[in-house]
Structure 1
Amino acid sequence: MKDYEIYSNLKVPRGSKIISRLDGRNFHNLTKKLNLNKPYDDNFIESMVNISRDIFNEFSPLFIYTFSDELNVLLSEIPFSGRIEKLNSVFSSLASSSMLKNLIESFDINVDQNISFDSRIIPVSNDTDIVKYFKWRQDEAWRNYVNSYGYWTLKKDFSPEIATDKLKNLKSSGIHQMLFEKGINLNDLPTYQKRGIGLYKEKKESTVLNPKTGKKEGSHRNYVFIDRNLSIFDKKFFKKINIL
């Protein structure tokens, strides 16, 4: 019967880093039930950050980038011998269980909906691929940011259907102008809403007592830094955080 598992040995290419992209499944209904603040809810955002922390604790990736209900996990040390079936199933199940735990803690309610993430594996063969991929996702975060503020602002005066139609007929500059006229300047809002949040390792200097010499000595240890003020992704950014 083992022969029926025809995809079990499908593996990522040797020598490549990989990105696991996780997307919340049917989260539109979930956000309705949770009655989240729109267009951005800080409790939900912190739940996504906590999922990222759990993934960091489990697999020690190079970098995690999250916005909306999406997580992008960059790995150089690839677990499960690179087996794609295993990677997809474990990462999606870890994200799902972590989300359920965090929602219950953050919103102090029982979540009566099944929560799941889908997962896909993207091999990246060089530094250029890494920069291009994350810039692509950050551009999507920006589009989501502009459209979300546009939609929820229009929805105050119009039905969901009319608000959606009006938004379709507006270019990005038109949405900016419409929001500005209503007292909302997109440039003044939090950076994490515009560009998402990144998690990566940084070295922290501390002073410890050497038990042999009795003297205080400097030491460094890695910790996970949560960057809520990301710059626009480029090669310089990823070199600065020692990814490239």
Structure 2
Amino acid sequence: MKDYEIYNDLKVPKGSKIILRLDGRNFSNLSKSLNFKKPYDDNFSTGMVEAARNLFKEFSPSFIYTFSDEINILLSEIPFSGRIEKLNSVFPSIVASSLTLHLTKFFNLSLKKNRPISFDSRIIPITNNDIYTYFKHRQDESWRNCINGYGIWTLKKEFSTKVASEKLKNLKSSDIHQLLFEKGINLNDIPSYKKRGIAIYKKTREINGFNPKINEKTTSHRNVLFVDRELPIFSYEFFEKNHIQ
């Protein structure tokens, strides 16, 4: 039967780096069925972060960036010997099950009423020179998602979903800014993580202790997992400073 598994040996080229991008499948329906808060649901966002943290426990990604229903995973050390079938199945299954477990704490999530949560997955080969460009592009998408999310939420207070969507289509970002400002919403006051997304990566922390054998204070350094909800606008310097490559 192994002869039928014709994609089994398809692998990422040795020595390469990749990004796995996971996207929620039909999450607009999930949002409606669970009645997520609009324009931003913190319980859902925290669930996505927890799912990303679980990936860190299982594997050793260099960097994870998430916003909305999207998770981007930078892998320098690629598990499963780079087997594409494994990468594109195991990662989204961990995220789907992790998110499900989290959401059941806050929502009435039932297989009788809701479709099972699932993600699609794609593999993107990347070089060190392109890491910043890729994540800056995704962060720009996060910003557009934020503007549009607040825009449609505001318009739906006065119009039907169909009319609100049509009105939003014809508005530039600057127009949406002005619309929101006139309604008392200043996007500058919105928390950074809603505009720029959330990153999960390792940072070196200084640990102070005491060695009773020599009766002296000691200092050591340890890599700890860090959830960054105060991201700056991505720059080359951000990735260099945090040794993300």
Query: What band does the TM-score fall into relative to the shorter chain?
Result: over 0.9
Asked if the contact 2:34–2:109 (Cα under 8 Å) also holds between the matched residues in 1, the reply is: no
Q: Which runs of 5+ in 2 are unaligned?
A: none
Deviation at 1:167, TM superposition (A): 0.4
Match of 1:121 among 115, 120, 123: 123
Gaps of 5+ in 1: none
Q: 1:53-92 to 2 correspondence within 5 Å?
A: 53-92=53-92
Verify the 8 A CA contact 2:18 2:75 in the aligned structure 1.
yes
Counterpart of 1:109?
108
Amino acid at match of 2:43: N
TM alignment of 1:13-162, pairs within 5 A: 13-105=13-105, 107-112=106-111, 113=114, 114-125=116-127, 127-162=128-163
Distance in 1 (CA, whole Å) between partners of 2:55 and 2:155 is 37
Q: Deviations over 1:137-181 (max 9, x none)?
A: 111111111111110100000000000000011111111111111
SS in 2 for 1:223: strand
**Aligned residue for 2:218?**
217
Query: What CA distance in whole angstroms lies between the structure 2 residues aligned with 1:231 and 1:153?
Result: 26
- Report the counterpart of residue 230 of structure 2 in structure 1: 229
CA distance in 2, matches of 1:148, 1:56: 29
> Contact 1:13–1:123 at 8 Å: present in 2 too?
no
Aligned identity (percent) is 64
Partner of 1:186: 187
Query: By how many angstroms is 1:15 displaced?
Result: 1.4
SS of corresponding position for 2:20: strand
Tell me by how many angstroms 1:34 deviates: 1.3
Structure 1 counterpart of 2:6: 6
SS in 2 for 1:207: strand
Q: Which moved more, 1:192-201 or 1:205-214?
A: 205-214
Between 221-230 and 206-215, the greater mean CA deviation after superposition: 206-215
> Residue by residue, what CA displacement relative to the aligned partner does 1:84-111 show, whole Å, maximum 9, x if unpaired?
1101100011011101111012x15333
TM-superposition CA deviations, 1:116-144 (whole Å, max 9, x none): 1111111112x221111101111111111
Per-residue deviation, residues 13-72 of structure 1 (Å, max 9, x unmatched): 221111111111111111112111101011111111111110111112111000000000
Q: Read off the aligned partner of 1:63 and give its amino acid letter.
A: F
Helix, strand or coil for the counterpart of 2:104? helix
Amino acid at match of 1:68: S
d(CA) in 2 for partners of 1:108, 1:161: 27
Q: Judging changes above 3 Å, is the alpha-carbon distance between structure 1 residues 220 and 174 closer, same or farther for their aligned structure 2 residues?
A: same
Q: TM-score, with normalisation over the residues of structure 1?
A: 0.96
Task: Indicate the RMSD between aligned Cα atoms, in angstroms.
Answer: 1.2
